[in-house]
Amino acid sequence: NEQTAVKEAAPAQTRLPDAQTVTEVQHYTDRLFRFRVTRPQSLRFRSGEFVMIGLMGDPDPKTGRQKPLLRAYSIASPSWDEELEFYSIKVPDGPLTSKLQNIKVGDEIILRPKPVGTLVHDALLPGKRLWFFSTGTGIAPFASLIREPQTYEDYDEIILTHTCRDVAELKYGADLVESIKQDELLQELIGDGLNKLRYYPTTTREESPRMGRITELLKDGTVFSDLGIDGISKETDRAMVCGSIGLNNDLKEILEGYGLSEGANSEPAEYVVEKAFVG
């Protein structure tokens, strides 16, 4: 659980921070941005995992000492990428994101090279169809997994759903899916397998071609009729869920209703869940 990870990693650190350099920043809306940083040579991770990243906090008014301000962030780039990508919300008075949103190319961030997480292939039993259910910045781990060759080796069909308030908030995912289909390196790694990827974006507060919360669209069968699928079953379907606590709980109930049970690294099953970083 990312909350626990935050608590464990946040206490005052006396050793020098693990600095990485920002190589790219792109702002999408006043609430969302993406950035890339250099990757520590020794860092190995499984696509879908998260790490603790952050900045030095303000000096303590009494002692003048600075402590790192760290939060859990899913790595949005695949495990083979030479850089690391992150997708972040901007919270106006968020201790970290109010500062992090101002980073520029050449700046340094702190990155603790200890990747962990449950949204990994190892936590799922073999299946035919893999669902990635996300809201908001919860798409980040799936941005990694849809660029991971294993995803296409292990499944016949991959469905990425992304629900956001408005169309502008879908842009990161929409651009990514589009670019993946054109990417030469990915074509080489994954080939025709990329055609297995299906993208299902929905909005809840602004008019768009498909409106509504994914949970409602599952319950009333709209998702299935839109995609030409019979439904979700324990035999064929596997799912990874990443969004707000509300989304995660509601989807857990829906997936359990289809007969799927929750897996973990130590005990793979039919679906896994992780809370998106929320500032």
Q: What residue ranges bind ligand A2P (CB under 6 A)?
A: 135-136, 163-165, 204-205, 213-215, 244, 246-247, 250
Residue nearest to ligand A2P (CB): 246
How far are the Cα atoms of 10, 34, 70, 189, 277 from residue 7, in angstroms, in the given order?
A: 5, 24, 10, 38, 14
Residue closer to ligand A2P, measured from CB, 110 or 276: 276
- Position of tokens 């695949």? 78
> How many CB atoms are located within 10 Å of the residue 24 CB?
11
User: At closest approach, how far in Å is the CB of 48 from ligand A2P?
Assistant: 20
User: At closest approach, how far in Å is the CB of 179 from ligand A2P?
Assistant: 23
Residue closer to ligand A2P, measured from CB, 120 or 223: 223
User: At closest approach, how far in Å is the CB of 279 from ligand A2P?
Assistant: 10
Q: Are 111 and 18 in contact (CB under 8 A)?
A: yes
User: At closest approach, how far in Å is the CB of 141 from ligand A2P?
Assistant: 15
How far are the Cα atoms of 25, 139, 162, 172, 185 from residue 243, in angstroms, in the given order?
A: 23, 8, 9, 15, 29
For the chain, give the number of residues.
279
Residue closer to ligand A2P, measured from CB, 65 or 219: 219
Residue closer to ligand A2P, measured from CB, 40 or 212: 212
Q: Are 86 and 75 in contact (CB under 8 A)?
A: yes
Residue closer to ligand A2P, measured from CB, 78 or 138: 138
Residue closer to ligand A2P, measured from CB, 50 or 277: 277
User: At closest approach, how far in Å is the CB of 250 from ligand A2P?
Assistant: 4
Q: Are 240 and 145 in contact (CB under 8 A)?
A: yes
Q: Are 109 and 54 in contact (CB under 8 A)?
A: yes
| H/E segment holding residue 149 | helix 149-154
Residue closer to ligand A2P, measured from CB, 68 or 201: 201
- Max CA separation in the chain (angstroms): 63
Residue closer to ligand A2P, measured from CB, 222 or 244: 244
Phi, psi angles (nearest 5°) of residue 41:
-55, -35
Could you write out the DSSP letters of every residue in 221-234?
A: THHHHHHT-----T
204-208-212-215 Cα dihedral, nearest 10 degrees:
-100
User: Could you give the CA distance from residue 64 to residue 101 in angstroms, rounded to a whole number?
Assistant: 24
User: At closest approach, how far in Å is the CB of 88 from ligand A2P?
Assistant: 13
User: At closest approach, how far in Å is the CB of 32 from ligand A2P?
Assistant: 9
User: At closest approach, how far in Å is the CB of 58 from ligand A2P?
Assistant: 27
